[in-house]
C-alpha cells in the first residue's frame, strides 16, 4: 500500500487480541511503517538483564502495569532514539498508551513536534475468543513473532519459522495472570477511548480472528492515509 501522509498509529486491544500479529502484517503491507511494542521492548530488557528489565519483570510476572511515568519516559526516549519525534516519521505503537495518563504524556511529547497521534484503532475481539486463543499462543521471544497452534502454527512444531529457534509460552499467559491483565485492560479502555474520540482519531475494527480483522484494519489505514 502506498501512503501519502505520515502515519502515527496506536493499536488498542486486549492482551491476546492479536496486536502483535496484526502489527507484523501491517508492517509487511505498509513499507514506511515501523513499530514499537512496549511488551517486546520490556521483555528484551529482561532478557538483557538491564536495570529497566529488573524493574519490569516484577510487574510483568504479576500481570500488572508498570508505572505511567516510567513507561512514558521509556517510550519518549525510544521515539527520540529512533528519530521519530518529528512530523515526517510514520510509526505504530503496540501496547502503549494503556492508560489515560500515558496518553496525556504521549500527547504532550508529540505535540511539541507537531506530530500527534492521528489514528487509534481498537481491536474488538470477544473476551471468550481471547481466553480460548491464549492457551494456544507461542512466541519467538527475540523477535516478538507470535504463533497460534490452531490458527497460525509454525512450519516446524514449536520452532520459529525464520530462525528455527525454539518458541516459548509467555509466563504471564497463565490463566490467573492473564485474567488480571484482561480485567486491567477493560478498566482502562473507556477513558482512553473517550480521550481519542474527542480528538476525532478513534476507530474500531471487530472480528474473531486476525484473518478477519486484518483486512478491516488495512482498509481503515488506507482510507485515512492514501
Ligand atoms: P504486552 O506484551 O503488551 O501484553 O505487555 C506485557 C506486559 O508488559 C504487560 O502486562 C505490562 O506488565 C507491561 N507493559 C507493556 N506495555 C505497558 C504499558 N504501556 N504500561 C504499563 N505496562 C506495560
Q: Is residue 207 part of a domain?
A: yes
Q: Is residue 46 part of a domain?
A: yes
Q: Residue 98: exposed, middle, or buried by beta-carbon count in 10 A (0-12, 13-18, 19+)?
A: buried
Q: Is residue 27 part of a domain?
A: yes
pLDDT number for residue 127: 87
Q: Is residue 141 part of a domain?
A: yes
pLDDT number for residue 175: 87
Q: Give nearest CA residue, ligand 1 atom 11.
A: 65
Q: Is residue 224 part of a domain?
A: no
Confirm or deny that 187 is annotated as ligand binding.
no
Q: Is residue 2 part of a domain?
A: no
| Structural domain span for residue 160 | 8-218
**CATH code for the domain in which residue 21 is found:** 3.40.50.300
d(CA 119, CA 100): 16
The pTM of the whole model exceeds 0.85: yes
| Each residue's pLDDT expressed in tens, for the chain with a length of 226 residues | 777 899 999 999 999 999 989 999 999 999 999 999 999 999 999 999 999 999 999 999 999 999 999 999 999 999 999 999 999 999 999 999 999 999 999 999 999 999 999 999 999 999 889 988 888 999 998 888 899 998 889 999 999 999 999 999 998 999 889 999 999 999 999 999 999 999 999 999 999 999 999 999 999 999 999 8
pLDDT number for residue 3: 78
Q: Is residue 83 part of a domain?
A: yes
CB neighbours of residue 218 within 10 Å: 17
**Nearest ligand 1 atom to alpha carbon 15:** 4
Parallel, antiparallel or unpaired: strands 137-140 and 145-148: antiparallel
Are the C-beta atoms of residues 137 and 169 closer than 8 Å to each other? yes
Q: Is 91 helix (H, G, I), strand (E, B) or coil?
A: strand
Are the C-beta atoms of residues 5 and 223 closer than 8 Å to each other? no
pLDDT number for residue 184: 92
d(CA 115, CA 106): 10
Q: Is residue 225 part of a domain?
A: no
**What is the domain count for the chain?**
1
| Distance of CA 48 from the midpoint of ligand 1 (Å) | 17
Confirm or deny that 200 is annotated as ligand binding.
no
Cα 85 to its chain centre, rounded Å, is: 19
Q: Which residues line ligand 1 (CB under 6 A)?
A: 15, 38-39, 42, 59-60, 63-66, 71, 95-96, 98, 102, 172, 181
| Distance of CA 127 from the midpoint of ligand 1 (Å) | 18
d(CA 138, CA 87): 36
Amino acid at each position: 500500500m502506498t501512503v501519502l501522509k505520515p502515519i502515527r498509529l496506536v493499536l488498542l486491544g486486549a492482551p491476546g487480541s492479536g496486536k502483535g500479529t496484526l502489527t507484523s502484517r501491517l508492517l509487511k503491507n505498509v513499507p514506511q511503517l515501523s513499530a514499537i511494542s512496549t511488551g517486546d521492548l520490556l521483555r528484551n530488557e529482561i532478557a538483557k538483564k538491564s536495570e529497566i528489565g529488573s524493574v519490569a519483570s516484577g510487574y510483568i510476572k504479576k500481570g500488572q502495569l508498570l508505572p505511567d511515568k516510567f513507561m512514558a519516559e521509556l517510550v519518549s526516549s525510544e521515539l527520540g532514539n529512533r528519530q521519530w519525534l518529528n512530523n515526517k516519521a510514520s510509526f505504530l505503537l503496540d501496547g502503549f498508551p494503556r492508560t489515560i495518563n500515558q496518553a496525556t504524556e504521549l500527547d504532550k511529547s508529540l505535540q511539541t513536534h507537531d506530530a500527534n497521534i492521528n489514528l487509534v484503532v481498537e481491536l474488538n475481539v470477544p473476551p471468550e475468543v481471547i481466553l480460548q486463543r491464549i492457551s494456544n499462543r507461542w512466541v519467538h521471544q527475540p523477535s516478538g513473532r507470535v504463533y497460534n497452534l490452531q490458527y497460525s502454527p509454525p512450519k516446524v512444531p514449536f520452532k520459529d519459522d525464520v530462525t528455527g529457534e525454539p518458541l516459548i509460552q509467555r509466563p504471564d499467559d497463565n490463566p490467573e495472570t492473564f485474567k488480571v491483565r484482561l480485567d486491567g485492560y477493560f478498566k482502562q479502555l473507556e477513558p482512553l477511548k473517550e480521550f481519542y474520540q474527542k480528538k476525532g482519531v478513534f476507530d474500531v475494527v471487530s472480528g474473531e480472528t486476525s484473518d478477519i480483522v486484518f483486512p478491516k484494519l488495512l482498509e481503515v489505514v488506507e482510507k485515512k492515509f492514501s
